[in-house]
Amino acid sequence: MQNSPAPAEDLVVLGKIGSVYGIRGEVKVYSYTDPLDNLLSYRHWTLTRDGEVRQVELASGRLHNKVLTAKIKGLDDREEARGYAGFLICVPRSQLPALQDDEYYWYQLEGLKVINQDGQLLGQVDHLLETGANDVLVVKPCTGSLDDRERLLPYTGQCVQSVDLSAGEMRVDWDADF
């Protein structure tokens, strides 16, 4: 088990603990990874909820149909496990696998300014949504943006022309009237 937690700004949320599962202290987990059971490849989790931080070690886990369950080392009681509901599951960014040059983690896109082909600032990426067809960028107005509209843009190669993390910008092919 890790002795000291990573700084909060170095942590990435990969899931959330839901309810209890069974009678031996297992918990249901909502995984934000793709595929869902990738979350189980991280053995040490930093759990956070309302300012509380806990370091835990994953003893085991499995995917039942579309439900991910986890057994946390030392957590053997159903009632004690109930107290873990609502904790976010985090790992240090340094533990995430490296990506190809044209791939990004969602956390890297959040906060980028979105500029269209006409040079208009549409807003800033607030978060992303997963849909069946493609991911969607939720772009909210920010200081200097064209207007006060929230926009939903498809995160596709047709829409997103370029991403410049160092400049904090994303260039898109998107009409301001959409």
Question: In the predicted model, is pLDDT for residue 23 greater than 60?
Answer: yes
Question: In the predicted model, is pLDDT for residue 65 greater than 60?
Answer: yes
pTM comes to 0.76
Interval 103-116 mean pLDDT: 94
Which amino acid does the sequence have at 138?
A: V
How confident is residue 139, by pLDDT bands cut at 50, 70 and 90?
very high
Going from the N-terminus, what domains does the chain have, and what CATH number goes with each?
8-95 (2.40.30.60), 106-172 (2.30.30.240)
Q: Which helix (H) or strand (E) holds 19?
A: strand 11-21
8 A C-beta contact, residue 136 and residue 154: yes
8 A C-beta contact, residue 116 and residue 175: yes
